[in-house]
Amino acid sequence: MAPALVANGSVKADAANPGSSPAIPSRAIPPIAHPTPEDAFGVAANIQYHAQYSPHFSPFKFEVEQAFFSTAESVRDTLIQRWNATYEHFQKSDPKHIHYISMEYLQGRALTNALGNLGLTDAYAAALYKLGYDLENVVEQEKDPALGNGGLGRLASCFLDSLATLNLPAWGYGLRYKYGLFKQLITKKGQEEYAEDWLEKFSPWEIVRHDIVYPIRFFGKVKVDPNGRRKWVGGEQLQALAYDIPIPGFKTKNTISLRIWEAKSPPRDFNLAAFNAGKHQEAVDLHFKAEQICAVLYPGDETEDGKLLRLKQQYLLCSASLQLQDILTRFKDRRSQDSFSWAELPNKVAVQMNDTHPTLAIPELMRLLIDEEGLGWEEAWAITSSTVAYTNHTVLPEALEKWSQVVMSKLLPRHVEIITEIDKQFHALVREIRPDLEEKLNGLAILDNSKPDKPLVRMANLCVISSHSVNGVAELHSDILKKELFADFYSLWPKKFQNKTNGVTPRRWLRFASPELSAIITKWLRTDEWVTNLDLLTGLRQFADDNQLQSEWTAAKIANKLRLAKYLEQVTGIKVDPQSLFDVQVKRIHEYKRQLLNILSVIYRFKKIKELNPEERGNFVPRTVMFGGKAFATYAQAKRIVKLVTDVGEVVNNDHDVSHLLKVVFIPNYNVSVAEVAIPASELSQHISTAGLEASGTSNMKFALNGSLIIGTLDGANVEIREEVGEENFFLFGARADEVPMLRKEREEGKFVPDPRFEEVKAFIRSGAFGDYDYGPLVDSLEGNSGFGRGDYFLVGYDFPSYLEAQSKVDEAYKDKARWTKMSILSTAGSGKFSSDRTISQYAEDIWKIQACQVP
């Protein structure tokens, strides 16, 4: 039911029942434009102003959805004021900037984060109360932006928060995906994919910049003029339109920008004559091609058209961001013509490529400097290689991008010429300074011509050769890069390689996601400075045995568990016991992340409980096991894992003998907003990837920060987390990274003897205990000695016994509530290292060479 309005447009609010449709207010609140309100009345008046004068809905109602959009636009007023002041200050100060280019930004909802960073949460909560709503209900109306999917995108978003909080001069660059990856629904068929609807109406946070529209060329040919200068001409020419999203820092005026690009076709490309002649498809051909580019994140690339589309995305991102009208133009605008020199570019501009997706920034910057600005090759190369830096996020061969030379030559002919020259000069360099590596050149080269019918471009090699810095994202991962993946490159350029262990923002992932726990931390540390200095959390260690702290800590955890239990019932219909152990594994569904290992142990647990008599079952710790994450739409094996989890849940949750001791829940459409509910409630978090395959992980950091204990392998950042929180507070199992190659070889040779419990679980699945779905291909992949699949490549069978042993230790620890709570406190106390503020400070000092530039 819509609320009534009074003559001046204010809402009739029911202060006794905020969150319902507003009723009669005690006094009318006039609509007043007030871009930077700080008191509740000023905020309410500004919200009313946007409800009337920034209308997106009928003026005769003010329901909760309208309340959200008006509230967001009111907050945006303050952000814009700070945003403009920030870049005006940067313009005057002319500091060196970092330009962070990423294919993904997994932002999450912006309202709570913005209010928290601005220090306006209480004022807006009070204002909305006056208008008949509570802030929590209004926040729930916001949809997560579909600009990212996994850890890569979430890391980029944490980094932006830290860049703003640390007052560093920065821009983030990405793409404006209309439909994201996909919205995940869980049905009896398993995972089903639908288009995301975050732009179904509009996003109140983005501001379109109609004056920032750059031409983007595809296809065409390279023209050589009489002087030998080369120029890329012809082909298709689309446009990149800029949308800016403000990113506020915490307790600072600095507000930086995430600029996302949308591909569009200019109106002149609409063929009116063809349309009137009935050739409708032909008339809108370029418009359709433009819309395709930013339609979805990671479009399928099994076909040549799919490969072209992915390359178009990557080139659009790099070209629009580096255009002479954007990064390079800002550099030129701040130089006088008398003293201008492109050689100064690396002193004022740093470009960080977040994984290999933005690799085309390298040949694009070379092209702009050589073809458009007239520089020679040597000068352009010196500038480019001193400007760009590369972060590697994976050692998985299939994730190290390799593109067809044929496809790339068709789409980007000039760039392939430049890449070929870089490769040629690299060959010459190796022959000159390291002739001992000459026999390895075929593997080190950018151009892979080992298969003449399928020549490839190795994007990771191009990044390593061209960047002045290459970093991994955890100590173990960086060591693997130096000793294995890029070992020969490391021998060439040892000073080029660095480690920058990832981090997460403590604002979103503790301060705002778990206000109850945050209040307790502040109380016991007697300061809230930990929000920007996470190392202060170590102060909790001295109180870890204190009964009062343990009691308060437990109460906060229970509040978070109740919140998650309510959410699970709403979205899945499954009721869970908040007194049970909340065991959570939420991350992208992939064989190497081993959700399969987790569900196999759940099946074993279910089977053992079922086999016992009722008296003996009492020895089991009640447990709710939760899974969440998306399987890529074409990744059949990952989708089978999702199906198995849901089928197991259907059987377990409806078994009256077991369901009070074990529940299995798949949380659908896992995203940042779901994580903000699940992570604070988690008590055990699973980070169980095959050792050596997870570059870092950041969800493990978020869980540890929130006092969740980790069961995991020595993989990625788990190694460092275990060191920081204490070995006794980490449930370790599994093979080490240096053992994995030998173990795989033993499996291939038929020397592996599987544990009887592992065989028992596989047989139980094959028996049809979980329905008639064909799990043959999934179980077959675990038959390491039988020639199926890749022979249990991810060593699920090898690690299964030690995993069960670790789970038994979890049960024993959980039975002792005081011990478990102490371990939880020590987990949070040891999380100081894993702040993205620390990570960004190290990037700024060691790689980017930039300094803070705070708005006065």
Helix (H, G, I), strand (E, B) or coil at 209: strand
Least confident piece of the model among 57-71, 88-102, 199-213, 803-817: 57-71
Q: How many CB atoms sit inside 10 A of residue 194's CB?
A: 11
pLDDT value at position 285? Answer: 80
Active-site entry in 702, 722, 744, 838: 702
Sheet strand arrangement including 236-248: 207-218, 236-248, 255-264, 170-175, 97-101, 349-354, 388-391, 470-472, 497-499
pLDDT more than 90, % of the chain:
84
329 is catalytic: no
d(CA 30, CA 8): 7
Q: Is the pTM value of this prediction over 0.85?
A: yes
Asked if 807 contacts 711 with a C-beta cutoff of 8 angstroms, the reply is yes
Task: State the Cα angle at 358 between 488 and 389, rounded to 5°.
Answer: 50
Active-site entry in 183, 508, 587, 762: 587
CA proximity to 171, closest of 189, 156, 187: 156
Active-site entry in 312, 330, 348, 393: 393
pLDDT in tens, 644-697: 999 999 999 999 999 999 999 999 999 999 999 999 999 999 999 999 999 999
Does domain 552-834 match CATH 1.10.3720.10? no
CA distances from residue 417 to 82, 351, 413, 427 in whole angstroms, order as listed? 44, 22, 7, 15
424 is catalytic: no
Active-site entry in 500, 563, 588, 639: 588
Helix (H, G, I), strand (E, B) or coil at 319: helix
C-alpha atoms less than 13 angstroms from C-alpha of 373 in its C-beta half-sphere: 23
Torsion of the alpha carbons at 820, 834, 136 and 677, rounded to the nearest 10: -50
36 is catalytic: no
pLDDT in tens, 100-128: 999 999 999 999 999 999 999 999 999 99
Q: Which amino acid, 701?
A: M
d(CA 236, CA 224): 19
Active-site entry in 593, 605, 744, 838: 593
What is the DSSP code string of 63-111?
Answer: -HHHHHHHHHHHHHHHHHHHHHHHHHHHHHH---EEEEE-S------SH
pLDDT, mean over the chain:
92
Whether 144-501+842-848 and 552-834 share one fold: the answer is yes
Torsion of the alpha carbons at 248, 362, 360 and 258, rounded to the nearest 10: 10
Asked if 296 contacts 180 with a C-beta cutoff of 8 angstroms, the reply is yes
CA distances from residue 163 to 170, 171, 587, 839 in whole angstroms, order as listed? 7, 9, 25, 10
pLDDT in tens, 767-791: 999 999 999 999 999 987 544 446 8
pLDDT in tens, 410-434: 999 999 999 999 999 999 999 999 9
698 is catalytic: yes
Question: With 60 as the cut, is the pLDDT of residue 15 above it?
Answer: no
C-alpha atoms less than 13 angstroms from C-alpha of 819 in its C-beta half-sphere: 11
pLDDT value at position 19? Answer: 47
User: Averaged over 265-288, what is the pLDDT?
Assistant: 78
DSSP 400: S
CA proximity to 252, closest of 83, 130, 19, 372: 83
Q: Provide φ and ψ at 806, rounded to 5°.
A: -65, -40
Domain ranges of the chain: 1-93+109-143, 144-501+842-848, 552-834
d(CA 741, CA 445): 25
User: Averaged over 267-285, what is the pLDDT?
Assistant: 77
pLDDT value at position 326? Answer: 65
d(CA 37, CA 49): 12
pLDDT value at position 4? Answer: 31
d(CA 757, CA 760): 5
Question: With 60 as the cut, is the pLDDT of residue 5 above it?
Answer: no
Identify the band that residue 35 occupies on the pLDDT scale cut at 50, 70 and 90: confident
Question: With 70 as the cut, is the pLDDT of residue 20 above it?
Answer: no
Active-site entry in 505, 624, 698, 713: 698
pLDDT more than 70, % of the chain:
95
587 is catalytic: yes
Q: How many CB atoms sit inside 10 A of residue 504's CB?
A: 29
Question: With 70 as the cut, is the pLDDT of residue 14 above it?
Answer: no
In the CATH scheme, what is the code of domain 144-501+842-848? Answer: 3.40.50.2000
99 is catalytic: no
d(CA 652, CA 606): 7
